[in-house]
């Protein structure tokens, strides 16, 4: 029996790991697989709701790390995860994405001599001010196996001198979750609840430190939402980081609440959010994963960032990268509002079967 642990910590991890767990269930005679949740995200809306929506089992361990500075969070995860590894003696660790839990757990496992794979490896924004970029580079440098989602990852890892034998182009497990969950969106009544109709509203999210931590920048993005709200309803599920920043400024807080057509919500569950993506006019965001989900759904996406680690969403997909200043974004948005919309194709191997390929490689190549 091979013992495999997958690590989850923050919201974007859950949809990447859920299909891997399901795929391992098909070979449960050969592999014991369970989850460790670091507790980096702990709110019901940021964590528990996703376990329900994605039909994931309870994690065997919940490390209860919570918030903190990067060093505190990363260090606490390492200390607690090391105890689990010593107790469980797993054969293999899977980390996903680019959050602090990803680097903390890969570093801990590899130093104990446990083989480790990074799912969604090789992505690079080449912006070292993003904490996620540091997490990506460090995790890829030390992980034994690198499962990649798109062509650019292969090129990036090549440039970094990574042995191609460590790299496997498998596709995107986040798209596996999307394919799995799409039928369930039929039952979601989120459109009624928010009082919007199909193709008649814009879906907006912002949470990157570079967009929300500076009051001036956050204010200019709210100006932009105000502009959009004059033409369309705009649904804005507010991330805890963004909420904290808005609430710390009374003037901004009152203003946000007073914009007619700007519909504020708490962070939404996976199925409701997916339903909103499927039925919106377009998405405006600074997220990583949403760029990929909209590309798969062939919905226009305006990404308000200076760089993206997911260039295939631009090259092949419906994503448009725009410098996050008011005028630049307004220009792009005006075009889309006038129905000048970018079309795209779905990148190779984003087919809903990525987790099966990963499990096949682990069980038949790595542990043959």
* Residues noted as catalytic: 207
> Which one, of 359, 346, 11, lies nearest residue 179 by Cα?
346
Give min distance, CB of 208 to ligand UD1, in A: 8
Instruction: Name which position in 5, 12, 170, 256 contacts ligand UD1 (CB under 6 A).
Output: 12
Instruction: Name which position in 14, 17, 51, 100 contacts ligand UD1 (CB under 6 A).
Output: 100
Site for ligand UD1 contains 236 (CB under 6 A): no
Task: List the x/- string, 129-168, binding to ligand UD1 by CB under 6 A.
Answer: --xx------------------------------------
Q: Which is nearer to ligand UD1, 58 or 340 (CB)?
A: 58
Q: Which is nearer to ligand UD1, 10 or 362 (CB)?
A: 10
Site for ligand UD1 contains 107 (CB under 6 A): no
Segment contacting ligand UD1 by CB under 6 A, of 54-62, 85-93, 227-235, 240-248: 240-248
Give min distance, CB of 210 to ligand UD1, in A: 11
Segment contacting ligand UD1 by CB under 6 A, of 9-17, 49-57, 189-197, 351-359: 9-17
Site for ligand UD1 contains 99 (CB under 6 A): yes
Give min distance, CB of 56 to ligand UD1, in A: 16
Segment contacting ligand UD1 by CB under 6 A, of 28-36, 227-235, 239-247, 309-317: 239-247
Binding site for ligand UD1 (CB under 6 A): 10-12, 40-43, 46, 67, 98-100, 131-132, 207, 239-241, 244, 288
């Amino acid at each position: 029996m091979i013992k495999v642990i997958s690590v989850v910590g923050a919201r974007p991890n859950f949809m990447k790991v859920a299909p891997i767990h399901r795929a391992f269930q098909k070979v449960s005679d050969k592999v014991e697989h369970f989850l460790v949740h670091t507790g980096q995200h702990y709110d019901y809306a940021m964590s528990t709701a996703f376990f329900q929506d994605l039909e994931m089992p309870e994690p065997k361990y919940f490390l209860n790390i919570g918030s903190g500075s990067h060093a505190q969070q990363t260090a606490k995860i390492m200390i607690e995860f090391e105890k689990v590894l010593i107790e469980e003696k797993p054969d293999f660790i899977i980390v996903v994405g680019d959050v602090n839990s990803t680097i903390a757990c890969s570093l801990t496992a590899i130093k104990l001599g446990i083989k480790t794979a990074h799912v969604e490896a090789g992505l690079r924004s080449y912006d070292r001010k993003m904490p996620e970029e540091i997490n990506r580079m460090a995790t890829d440098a030390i992980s034994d196996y690198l499962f990649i989602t798109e062509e650019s990852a292969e090129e990036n890892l090549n440039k970094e001198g990574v042995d191609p034998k460590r790299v496997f182009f498998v596709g995107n497990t986040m798209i596996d979750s999307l394919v799995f969950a799409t039928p369930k969106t039929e039952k979601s009544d989120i459109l009624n609840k928010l009082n919007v109709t199909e193709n008649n509203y814009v879906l907006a999210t912002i949470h990157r430190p570079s967009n929300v931590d500076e009051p001036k920048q956050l204010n200019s993005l709210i100006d932009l939402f105000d502009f959009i709200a004059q033409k369309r309803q705009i649904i804005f599920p507010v991330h805890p980081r963004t909420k904290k920043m808005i609430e710390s400024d009374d003037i901004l807080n009152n203003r946000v609440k007073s914009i007619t057509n700007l519909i504020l919500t708490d962070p939404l569950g996976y199925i409701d959010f997916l339903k909103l993506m499927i039925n919106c006019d377009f998405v405006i965001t600074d997220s990583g994963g949403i760029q990929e989900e909209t590309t798969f759904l062939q919905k226009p996406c305006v990404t308000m960032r200076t760089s993206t680690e997911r260039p295939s969403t631009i090259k092949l997909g419906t994503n448009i990268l725009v410098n996050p200043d008011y005028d630049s974004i307004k220009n792009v948005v005006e075009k889309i509002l006038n129905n000048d919309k970018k079309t795209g194709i779905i990148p190779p191997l984003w087919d809903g079967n990525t987790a099966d390929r990963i499990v096949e490689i682990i069980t038949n190549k790595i542990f043959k």
